[in-house]
């Protein structure tokens, strides 16, 4: 079964305490990305990766880091979280070949920074 998993699903933390949200996919997709979703703002892309060791900034990269050391994993790192990073985070993986495109999202991680 095609799957994107994220951990943890829920996290409450304090300002400045480093955290990592993991993302893993089992479809051997080359492309992976991170989004945050806030009320009234829709989904905004944080970072994306087109392959191992290839990452690029999305629309809202400030305060976040990513790494892509293996094809299946794409962790999101918040070195010093702040309250404005309280949000719902989604990881996604995708594959494109000609006119064919498939994309799967993870179940989401709800992060609260106090």
Q: Which residues bind other proteins (CB under 8 A)?
A: 4, 30-31, 33, 35, 40-45, 48, 50, 56, 58-59, 90, 92, 94-96, 99, 101-108
Question: In the numeric block, which tokens belong to residue 74?
Answer: 């794409």
Nearer Cβ to other proteins (1/15): 1
Residues 36, 86: contact at Cβ < 8 Å?
Answer: no
Closest distance between other proteins and the C-beta of residue 49, in Å? 10
Nearer Cβ to other proteins (83/107): 107
Closest distance between other proteins and the C-beta of residue 42, in Å? 4
Closest distance between other proteins and the C-beta of residue 79, in Å? 23
């Amino acid at each position: 079964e095609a799957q994107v998993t994220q951990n943890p699903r829920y996290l409450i933390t304090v300002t400045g305490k480093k955290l990592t949200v993991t993302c893993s996919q089992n479809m051997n997709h080359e492309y992976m990305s991170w989004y945050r979703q806030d009320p009234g703002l829709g989904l905004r892309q944080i970072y994306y990766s087109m392959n191992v060791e290839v990452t690029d900034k999305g629309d809202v990269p400030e305060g976040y880091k990513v790494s892509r050391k293996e094809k299946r994993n794409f962790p999101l790192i918040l070195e010093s979280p702040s309250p404005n990073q309280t949000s719902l985070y989604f990881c996604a993986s995708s594959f494109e070949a000609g006119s064919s495109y498939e994309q799967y999202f993870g179940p989401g991680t709800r992060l609260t920074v106090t």
